[in-house]
Amino acid sequence: MTISFSDSYGIDTDLFTALGALDPILNIDTRLFIDPLLVRNTKIPEFKNSTLKIEEYFQKILTLLN
């Protein structure tokens, strides 16, 4: 059985639509998300030093949430 983020957290799907936000299916992998562990070992030149940027970005989000 698939479950969306909105279903799992009891959020009205109309809110996601109004904000233009993605309402992902939680128990199915999607190619829309980047695996930070894979980025660390990438051979793609454009992503070579992106691990630090990703970590800093999410650290800012965690700081705002606290």
Residue pLDDT tens, the chain, 66 long: 889 999 999 999 999 999 999 899 988 877 777 787 888 888 889 888 888 888 899 899 999 988
| Neighbouring-strand partners of residue 25 | 4
| The length of the chain, given as a count of residues | 66
* One domain, residues 39 and 65: yes
Pairwise CA distance, residues 65 & 41, whole Å: 29
Domain that holds residue 53: 34-66
Can you count the helices (H) and strands (E) in the chain? 4, 0
Based on the structure, what is the number of domains in the chain? 2
φ/ψ of 54, rounded to 5, equals: -65, -45
Residue in this structure with the two tokens 């698939």, named with its chain if needed: 2
- Supply the pLDDT for residue 17: 93
* One domain, residues 16 and 3: yes
* One domain, residues 40 and 66: yes
| SS3 label, residue 53 | helix
